[in-house]
Amino acid sequence: MRSLLVGTLLVACSMLGGGCAHTMQIKNMSVYTPMGFTSLDKPIKIGIESEPQAPDEKVIVNGMAEELARYNARVVMPYIRNSQNPVDLIAKVDIQTERSGSGWNFLVNFPGFLVFAPAWNGYLYDVKYAITVSLNKPDGKKIMDDFKIPIALDIRHAAINRTWTEISYLEVGAIAFVGGLVFITYDDGVTALLPEKVGSPLGKYVANEIARRINSSGAFAANEAGPPVPRLCFVDPVGQ
């Protein structure tokens, strides 16, 4: 009888989309959508200095560089100081990442297993990026601006490596209870899914802030006066 129940549950999970899984969703990504389009006042050449470590950090920096190229900038990345490729501005970008699970995951797993909560709600995870940007003159002596961009992503995700504990229907909740205690921690499988989700939107968000800071500094303001207009000379035929 028990084997029949196990087989029935596994078949049901497979029919529900490949293993009782919840595809990864970032619930608050709209918070990091730039309002409008910030083009640079003047075309400039920007060198990007950055050494991202994790794959999601790398795609954020790449997305930022691609977006700056749309903002009236020519981007050199990676930029090497004292190279034969001079730039107008150096943007040094550093990303520190913090990844964590949530205490709510215990309740999602137990008693959430009774309503398959992991499959329709997903487990909760937090990924925080502390992005520090320094805008420097090429000589490295003058800092035009130095600022931080905090980003905190609210993530929902569940994969079969955790949702298998739904078999607690057969154990009166014992497996789900123990699993809930374990699943409070972060699932490293989420990290592998982040690059395709964060590169473009967060790259745009960071690039927009960099462009806004460059414009507000006034260091590369466009010449609004324009070229001098030649005067016209008229000759009075009567006075000749």
* pLDDT reading at 16 higher than 50: no
Q: What is the pLDDT of residues 156-170, one digit of tens each?
A: 887 654 554 555 555
Indicate whether 95 pLDDT > 70. Answer: yes
- Average confidence (pLDDT) over 163-189: 59
Higher pLDDT residue, 136 or 181? 136
pLDDT recorded at residue 44: 93
Q: Can you give the pTM of this predicted structure?
A: 0.76
Say whether pLDDT at 50 is over 60: yes
Identify which of 2-11, 63-72, 95-104 has the greatest average pLDDT.
63-72
Give the C-alpha separation, 205 to 24, whole Å.
21
pLDDT at 73: 93
Structure confidence at residue 14 (pLDDT): 44
Q: What is the pLDDT of residue 140?
A: 72
Higher pLDDT, 227 or 133: 133
pLDDT score at 155: 93
Average pLDDT for 125-129: 95
Mean pLDDT of the chain: 76
- Mean pLDDT over 119-141 rounds to 86
- 69-82 per-position pLDDT tens digit: 998 899 999 998 87
Output the pLDDT for position 189.
Answer: 86
